[in-house]
Amino acid sequence: MDKEHSREIVLGIEQGLHVRPAVEIVKCANGFESEISIIKDGQVADAKSAFSLMELAPDGGTRLTLRAVGPDSEEAVKALSILLEGK
């Protein structure tokens, strides 16, 4: 059975999730085996797809939920939290 981890964060990228940060998130997410989602107001985006992330279009300061399911889900959530929160 796969492990699931999630974390609520506030997007710390002031300009919002545009092309450059979306590509960085995809690069990071693709380093993990887990399925990784970013959720905004019930809308789910695949963190391994820049197009999916861009459709989410969150502005800086938006509350998001990161969810990962798989063998390295905890590590994936930690790494992506750092990127998204801008820390």
Neighbours of 4 (CB within 10 A): 14
User: Which of the residues 18, 20, 27, 63 is marked catalytic?
Assistant: 18
Task: Look up 5 and say whether it is catalytic.
Answer: no
> Which of 10, 3, 2, 1 has the alpha carbon at shortest distance from 74?
3
Show which residues are catalytic: 18
